[in-house]
Amino acid sequence: MKVLILCTGNSCRSQMAHGFLQSFNPELTVCSAGTEASGKLNQQAVAAMKEIGLDISHHTSDSVEKYLNDEWDYVITVCGGANESCPAFTGKVKHRLHIGFDDPSHAVGTDEFIWSEFIRVRDEIKERFWKFYTEEVKPQL
């Protein structure tokens, strides 16, 4: 099964979702991409995942263009805020889903508050992608 996770910058939320989904089942083909890929990972997202034992530091921030010619079982957008537009995927895909999250990289305030936002969003991503995996993916395997 092939799953592509999309957001705008492909540096934070999509990377965490990618890490979780791959950890639930290493047999899945999971990729992530962005419509305006930043080319680098958000280091606080990497640290938040490392804190719970998942290493995403080897991931790359890729443009969605890289995956347009592939076929996907699922394409999932993870953009969240009302000011943020979700990317559209024009490639071949069986199921399109939206599972939205706030972008912790836009949090402002103290270092402690910003870190707490990364942890909150990380935990939300884990919970919602576990639900997706157990309810949508696992029954098809």
Q: Which of 3, 4, 6, 7 is catalytic?
A: 7
Q: Which of 1, 86, 97, 107 is catalytic?
A: 86
Tell me how far apart the alpha carbons of residues 46 and 24 are, in angstroms, rounded to a whole number: 18
Q: Which of 4, 37, 79, 99 is catalytic?
A: 79
Would residue 7 show up in a list of annotated catalytic residues for this protein? yes
Catalytic residues: 7, 79, 86
